[in-house]
Amino acid sequence: MIHVFLLMVYLGVGEDRRLISDNMYFRSVSDCNFFAAEVSRRHGSYEHLYKMDKRDMVTAYCVPKYISKGSVEVY
């Protein structure tokens, strides 16, 4: 058994929120947090961010997991 960090990615907020990815495992919390930041990054004009559709908002974060060694691919 080993400790890893699982990247959870959600799309939308409130009732529209849905899990879109929960299968990326990382040895390092720093690597996991890097990818969490990258997948949730927005490009464009932040002046009109309030007009963004709530269904397009991304939330990503890392959670610790204890898994069997070799049971999943770990980055």
If one compares 31 and 57, the residue with the highest pLDDT of the two is: 31
Please give the full DSSP string across 39-50, using - where no structure is assigned. HT---S-GGGGG
75 within domain boundaries: no
Domain extent at residue 23: 2-67
Closest CA to 72 of 24, 34, 31, 30: 24
Going by pLDDT thresholds of 50, 70 and 90, the confidence category of residue 17 is: very high
12 within domain boundaries: yes
19 within domain boundaries: yes
Give how many domains the chain has, as a whole number.
1
34 within domain boundaries: yes
pLDDT tens digit sequence for 21-50: 999 999 999 999 999 999 998 776 667 777
pLDDT recorded at residue 18: 96
